[in-house]
């Protein structure tokens, strides 16, 4: 029984080391990631939760970095006029 417990502990240790090693490799890869400048997407998605997110999405749309701006999670009481005011988008881009 004690021998089985030692093997289980050894296996748990190996799995923990493998997980930690994988995390270090992942963190290293993420740290060296750099976005491609001036890359254009089909759409820009803004998750609501603050005016700054919407303003940043609007800035990217104005720069032509996406064909449309999709806003997710808008409060039902928020009107299109509210979004237009906060985003600062001209009418041609807002529609």
Is position 49 within any domain?
yes
Q: Does 37 have pLDDT greater than 80? A: no
The larger pLDDT score, comparing residue 2 to residue 1, is at 2
- Average pLDDT for 45-73: 87
Task: Looking at the structure, tell me whether residues 48 and 90 fall in a common domain.
Answer: yes
Query: Whole domain around residue 23: which residue ranges?
Result: 1-33
In a shared domain, residues 52 and 13 = no
| CA–CA distance, 69 with 61 (Å, rounded to integer) | 7
Specify the pTM.
0.58
* CA 31 to chain centroid: 15
Q: Which long-range contacts (CB under 8 A, 24 or more apart) does 7-16 make?
A: none
The DSSP H or E segment spanning 39 is none
Q: How many domains does the chain have?
A: 2
Residue 47 is inside which H or E element, if any?
A: strand 44-47
């Amino acid at each position: 029984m004690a021998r089985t417990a030692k093997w289980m502990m050894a296996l748990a240790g190996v799995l923990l080391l493998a997980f930690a090693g994988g995390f270090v490799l992942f963190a290293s890869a993420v740290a060296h990631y750099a976005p491609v400048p001036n890359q254009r997407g089909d759409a820009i998605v803004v998750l609501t939760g603050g005016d700054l997110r919407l303003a940043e999405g609007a800035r990217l749309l104005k720069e032509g970095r996406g064909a449309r701006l999709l806003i997710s999670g808008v409060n039902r009481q928020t009107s299109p006029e509210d979004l237009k005011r906060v985003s600062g988008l001209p009418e041609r881009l807002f529609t």
